[in-house]
């Protein structure tokens, strides 16, 4: 098959949601449709369960599962689908943001009863900023929930989206009868005593057809007609181009648990979702159909076995093909590397493959060569943009608790930071190291992993920081910038890329800097240019 055909059939996407909205359940149902798994319950949830075990043992459990679910690939109709896993837990939000740099589109799952929740808002905002095409799936229609129009309003207002429903529910909860599929112009009935089965798909081009009353009852038929009239009046027509540009978001309703509305979602997704997209590098835009290979590391996963310190670096192929045993340029290190056992992902398995195409993810065994954001190419010096660090929420000094193991400690910290577990800041004044994390759980993880994987011990000390701000002086040689550095020297640090960061102790001190040093810009994201 030609390069063009192979790349055109790839659909690489992520499912995002607030925990418990049904992401795992939907993923599983999609895999069932693809024939990639045979039974429900096969996909393990990667969420941190509350309960018997400590949160932190849960993280270790989660880490084990997330190796298996990092990429779930399967074929459906004539397409190759790659689902990239995104952790729902808020302490892992940064992981999810990074994974979103590797997707070409997303499906947003919303719980019909809970509506738009906090984690969904944050994730959708990132997708919106990058114009990632989004489809919304409103889940759990078998339960009582919010009115469909109220929910559509909420999605528009809270998420800042412009929606157009491509399906519409007939009743809800106890009265849930099925779904009218606006996209395919048919009705799916939800029925049976257990109400777990899809009875039939009935084509209905014309919903004024009196047959409808016989099938779903007069009241439901009349409600559906009224609702659809309103839908056609209020919402814009679906336009594929607007969806692809991130300007319009189609909405589907269903129940993932009951496998209801899922096939419709998948069939529409296959038709409209984009194949790999053009990606911006600092030097130029890279087209997926270019023959020469390029890709970037968006995730690094440490081996679960502490005795083998090898890691799996996940590369999103941006253009061309990645071939086994072929030398590629590791741009940051300026050296050529060959990989004898690149892993490709199928459902929940990984296998060594000879060739992968733009859109695919390959997992490369790594002994410490890769950092998140690294670029690999056929030879061109490219640097892909778009893997920013966000200001952490928590900050603590890290101290060495075993002076004999200083080397192990620093190596461990270095490698854990390369994996993106947390961010390291080194204070300008005294060289002390400060760890910044999105959630408090990460401190336990770091301590545990330093001890078990590197044989090093650490302690923490509180460091009251409100926000990390990346500093951009309009003139690095100006008097004003020199004064800023002198006055604030206690709060200045370097991040891992040697960028200057102001660790502000309060909202107030940020405002003061803005007023006093107007030529010094403060950014909450590391990649601001």
Structure tokens given for 33: 């449709």
Does 20 engage in binding with ligand G4P (CB under 6 A)? yes
**In terms of CB distance, is 72 or 501 closer to ligand G4P?**
72
SS3 at position 399? strand
From the list 301, 303, 368, 299, the residue with the least C-alpha distance to 333 is 368
**In terms of CB distance, is 139 or 415 closer to ligand G4P?**
139
By CB under 6 A, name the one of 83, 151, 166, 256 that touches ligand G4P. 256
3-state secondary structure 456-492: CCEEEEECCCCEEEEEEECCCCCHHHHHHHHHCHHHE
| Span from 153-161, 196-204, 254-262, 465-473 in contact with ligand G4P (CB under 6 A) | 254-262
Q: By CB under 6 A, what part of segment 110-139 binds ligand G4P?
A: 139
By CB under 6 A, name the one of 3, 44, 45, 202 that touches ligand G4P. 45
Does 257 engage in binding with ligand G4P (CB under 6 A)? yes
Rounded alpha-carbon distances, angstroms, from residue 246 to 99, 104, 106, 164, 171: 18, 11, 11, 13, 30
**In terms of CB distance, is 120 or 526 closer to ligand G4P?**
120
Structure tokens given for 180: 């009218």
Q: By CB under 6 A, what part of segment 53-92 binds ligand G4P?
A: 88
By CB under 6 A, name the one of 12, 25, 119, 356 that touches ligand G4P. 25
Spatial CB neighbours of 438, under 8 Å, sequence gap ≥ 6: 90, 91, 92, 93, 94, 390, 392, 393, 394
**In terms of CB distance, is 86 or 391 closer to ligand G4P?**
86
Tally of CB atoms within 10 A around 160: 11
The alpha-helical segments, DSSP class H, found in 51-147 are: 55-69, 93-99, 118-129
DSSP 378-395: SS----B---PPBPPSEE
**In terms of CB distance, is 138 or 268 closer to ligand G4P?**
138
Q: CB of 254: closest distance to ligand G4P in angstroms? A: 7
Q: CB of 190: closest distance to ligand G4P in angstroms? A: 11
**In terms of CB distance, is 62 or 139 closer to ligand G4P?**
139
Q: CB of 256: closest distance to ligand G4P in angstroms? A: 4
Distance, in Å, from the CA atom of 145 to the CA atom of 190, rounded to the nearest integer, reads 17
Does 47 engage in binding with ligand G4P (CB under 6 A)? yes
DSSP 373: T
**Total interface residues for ligand G4P by CB under 6 A:** 19
Distance, in Å, from the CA atom of 441 to the CA atom of 421, rounded to the nearest integer, reads 11
**In terms of CB distance, is 256 or 317 closer to ligand G4P?**
256
| Span from 15-23, 201-209, 354-362, 437-445 in contact with ligand G4P (CB under 6 A) | 15-23
SS3 at position 345? strand
Q: Positive or negative CA dihedral for 280, 419, 369, 81?
A: negative
**In terms of CB distance, is 20 or 323 closer to ligand G4P?**
20
Q: Write the burial class of residue 139 (CB in 10 Å: 0-12 exposed, 13-18 middle, 19+ buried).
A: buried
Q: CB of 196: closest distance to ligand G4P in angstroms? A: 10
Q: CB of 170: closest distance to ligand G4P in angstroms? A: 16
**In terms of CB distance, is 23 or 485 closer to ligand G4P?**
23
**In terms of CB distance, is 14 or 88 closer to ligand G4P?**
88
Spatial CB neighbours of 476, under 8 Å, sequence gap ≥ 6: none
Rounded alpha-carbon distances, angstroms, from residue 189 to 108, 144, 180, 479: 24, 17, 9, 72
Q: CB of 53: closest distance to ligand G4P in angstroms? A: 16
Does 526 engage in binding with ligand G4P (CB under 6 A)? no
Q: CB of 228: closest distance to ligand G4P in angstroms? A: 23
By CB under 6 A, name the one of 104, 142, 366, 418 that touches ligand G4P. 142
Give the residue carrying structure tokens 């000390």: 461
Does 22 engage in binding with ligand G4P (CB under 6 A)? yes
CB distance 113 to 146 below 8 Å:
yes
By CB under 6 A, name the one of 114, 143, 301, 385 that touches ligand G4P. 143
By CB under 6 A, name the one of 12, 101, 255, 294 that touches ligand G4P. 255
**In terms of CB distance, is 66 or 255 closer to ligand G4P?**
255
Q: Give the residues lining the site for ligand G4P (CB under 6 A).
A: 17, 19-25, 45, 47, 88, 139-140, 142-143, 255-258
């Amino acid at each position: 098959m030609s390069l063009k055909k192979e790349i055109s059939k790839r659909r690489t996407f992520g499912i995002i949601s607030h925990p418990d909205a049904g992401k795992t359940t939907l993923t599983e149902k999609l895999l069932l449709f693809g024939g990639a798994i045979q039974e429900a319950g096969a996909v393990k949830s990667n969420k941190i369960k509350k309960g018997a075990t400590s949160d932190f043992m849960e993280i270790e459990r989660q880490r084990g599962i997330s190796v298996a679910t990092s990429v779930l690939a399967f074929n459906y109709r004539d397409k190759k689908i790659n689902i990239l896993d995104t952790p729902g837990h808020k302490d892992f939000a940064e992981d999810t943001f990074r994974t979103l740099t590797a997707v070409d589109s997303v499906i947003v799952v919303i719980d019909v009863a809970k509506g738009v929740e906090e984690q969904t808002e944050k994730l959708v905002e990132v997708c919106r900023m990058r114009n990632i095409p989004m489809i919304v799936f409103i889940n759990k229609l078998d339960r009582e929930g919010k009115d469909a129009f109220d929910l559509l309003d909420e999605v528009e207002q809270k998420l800042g989206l412009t929606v157009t429903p491509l399906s519409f529910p007939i009743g809800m909860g106890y009265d849930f009868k099925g779904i009218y599929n606006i996209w395919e112009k048919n009705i799916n009935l939800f029925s049976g005593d257990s109400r777990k089965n899809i009875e039939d798909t009935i084509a209905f081009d014309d919903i004024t057809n009196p047959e409808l009353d016989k099938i779903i009852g007069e009241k439901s038929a009349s409600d559906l007609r009224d609702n659809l009239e309103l839908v056609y009046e209020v919402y814009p027509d679906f336009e594929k181009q607007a969806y692809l540009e991130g300007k319009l978001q189609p909405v589907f309703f269903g129940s993932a648990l009951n496998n209801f509305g899922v096939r419709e979602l998948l069939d529409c997704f296959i038709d409209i979702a984009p194949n790999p997209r053009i990606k911006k590098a600092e030097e130029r835009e890279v087209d997926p159909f270019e023959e020469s290979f390029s890709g970037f590391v968006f995730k690094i996963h440490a081996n679960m076995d502490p005795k083998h310190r090898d890691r799996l670096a996940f590369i999103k192929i941006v253009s061309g093909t990645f071939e086994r045993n072929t030398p590629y340029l590791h741009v940051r290190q300026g050296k050529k590397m060959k990989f004898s056992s690149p892993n490709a992902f199928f459902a929940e398995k990984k296998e060594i493959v000879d060739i992968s195409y733009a859109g695919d993810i390959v997992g490369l065994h790594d002994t410490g060569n890769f950092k998140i954001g690294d670029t690999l190419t056929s030879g061109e010096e490219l640097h892909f943009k778009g893997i920013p660090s966000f200001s952490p929420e928590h900050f603590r000094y890290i101290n060495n608790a075993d002076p004999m193991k200083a080397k192990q400690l620093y190596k461990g910290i270095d490698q854990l930071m390369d994996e993106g577990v947390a961010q390291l800041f080194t204070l300008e004044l005294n060289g002390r190291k400060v760890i910044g994390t999105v959630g408090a759980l990460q401190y336990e993880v770091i301590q545990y992993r330093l001890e078990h994987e590197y044989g090093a011990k650490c302690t923490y000390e509180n460091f009251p920081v409100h926000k990390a701000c990346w500093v951009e002086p309009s003139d690095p040689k100006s008097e004003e910038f020199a004064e800023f550095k002198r006055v604030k020297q206690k709060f200045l640090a370097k991040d891992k890329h040697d960028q200057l960061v102001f660790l502000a102790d309060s909202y107030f001190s940020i405002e003061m800097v803005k007023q006093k040093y107007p030529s010094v810009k403060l950014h909450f994201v590391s990649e601001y240019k």
